[in-house]
């Protein structure tokens, strides 16, 4: 229920409807990519924010910021080598986004995808309600880009539900572009997955 409320607030009724539909019959996302050898524009938020990597000792703080988050799950992700980039305003977390390499599970599609050794998957962006619309996400995304570019990665990828207009605005602003569509059709226990990507892009199932 909490997740449904968040989707309704962040993405609107249409997106919530397609998410409900995705749990029963049909589900699809747009595959997005950002090549890290391309220029990374400077982004600023409408208020002072500091971007940092979350530490395992800060899991409880993260759970207080993010409704429904489990501190033990946050610590598990960090121990597994995942990254959580957080934006702090006056010392408090107001926005966060995650990244993972090698392989990842996409809850919305109920499937696992593999990544090339020079790719990172970006997921689970969340901004505290009082701080939305202040460009915190774009600042965090560009900080992630610089971090992974400097670490030797070539590409960041993400998935976006087509109805999530706010997410597409952030993707466009930070230089992401679509490179395919992925999803499934399901009737009862039967399920057919599909993935269509451009010729110049790869995604490993």
pLDDT by residue (tens digit) across 21-39?
A: 545 577 889 999 999 999 9
pLDDT band (50, 70, 90) for residue 90: very high
Q: Are 149 and 40 in contact (CB under 8 A)?
A: yes
Q: How confident is the model at residue 12 (pLDDT cuts 50, 70, 90)?
A: very low
Residue 119 pLDDT exceeds 60: yes
Residue 105 belongs to a domain with what CATH number?
3.40.630.30
pLDDT band, very low/low/confident/very high, at 18 (cuts 50, 70, 90): low
Owner of token pair 């995808």: 113
> Is residue 203 included in any domain, yes or no?
no
Tell me: pLDDT of 203 over 50.
yes
The average confidence (pLDDT) of the chain is 88
Of residues 108 and 150, which shows the higher confidence score? 150
Which pLDDT tens digit goes with each residue over 131-141?
Answer: 999 999 999 99
Task: Tell me if 113 is assigned to some domain.
Answer: yes
Residue 17 lies in a domain: yes
Provide the pLDDT for residue 140.
98
Range of lowest pLDDT (54-58, 78-82, 89-93, 199-203) = 199-203
Number of domains forming the structure of the chain: 1
Q: Check pLDDT > 80 for residue 181.
A: yes
The answer to whether position 80 is within a domain reads yes
108-127: burial string, b at 16+ Cβ within 10 Å, e else: ebebebebeeebbbbbebbb
Position 108 scores a pLDDT of 85
- Say how far apart CA 46 and CA 149 lie, in whole Å: 25
pLDDT for 4 equals 39
Is residue 192 a part of any domain in this protein?
yes
The sheet with strand 190-197 has its strands ordered as 50-53, 83-89, 92-101, 119-127, 155-160, 26-35, 177-187, 190-197
Q: What's the pLDDT score for residue 120?
A: 97
- Report yes or no on 98 lying in a domain: yes
Is 165 domain-assigned?
A: yes
pLDDT at 6 over 60: no
For residues 74 and 65, is the Cβ–Cβ distance under 8 A? no
More reliable by pLDDT, 182 or 18 = 182
Q: What is the pTM of this model?
A: 0.84
Domain ranges, residue 111: 2-197
In a domain, 205, yes or no: no
For position 185, what pLDDT does the model report? Answer: 87
What confidence score (pLDDT) does residue 24 get? Answer: 58
Query: Cα separation of 84 and 123, whole Å?
Result: 10
* Pairwise pLDDT comparison (189 vs 7), residue with the higher score: 189
Per-residue pLDDT band for 198 (boundaries 50, 70, 90) equals: confident
């Amino acid at each position: 229920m909490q997740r449904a409320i968040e989707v309704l607030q962040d993405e609107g009724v249409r997106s919530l409807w397609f998410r409900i539909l995705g749990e029963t019959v049909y589900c699809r996302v747009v595959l997005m990519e950002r090549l890290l050898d391309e220029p990374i524009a400077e982004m600023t938020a409408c208020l002072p924010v500091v971007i940092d990597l979350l530490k395992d000792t800060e899991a409880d703080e993260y759970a207080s910021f993010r409704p429904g988050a489990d501190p033990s799950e946050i610590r598990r992700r960090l121990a597994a080598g995942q990254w959580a980039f957080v934006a702090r305003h006056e010392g408090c977390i107001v926005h966060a986004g995650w990244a993972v390499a090698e392989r990842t599970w996409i809850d919305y599609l109920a499937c696992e995808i593999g990544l090339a050794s020079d790719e990172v998957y970006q997921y689970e962006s969340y901004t505290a309600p009082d701080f939305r619309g202040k460009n915190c996400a774009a600042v965090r995304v560009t900080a992630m880009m610089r971090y992974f570019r400097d670490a030797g990665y070539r590409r960041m990828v993400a998935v976006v539900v087509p109805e999530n207009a706010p997410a597409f605005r952030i993707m466009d602003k930070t230089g992401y572009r679509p490179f395919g569509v992925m999803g499934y059709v399901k009737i009862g226990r039967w399920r057919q997955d599909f993935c269509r990507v451009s010729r110049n892009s790869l995604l490993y199932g």
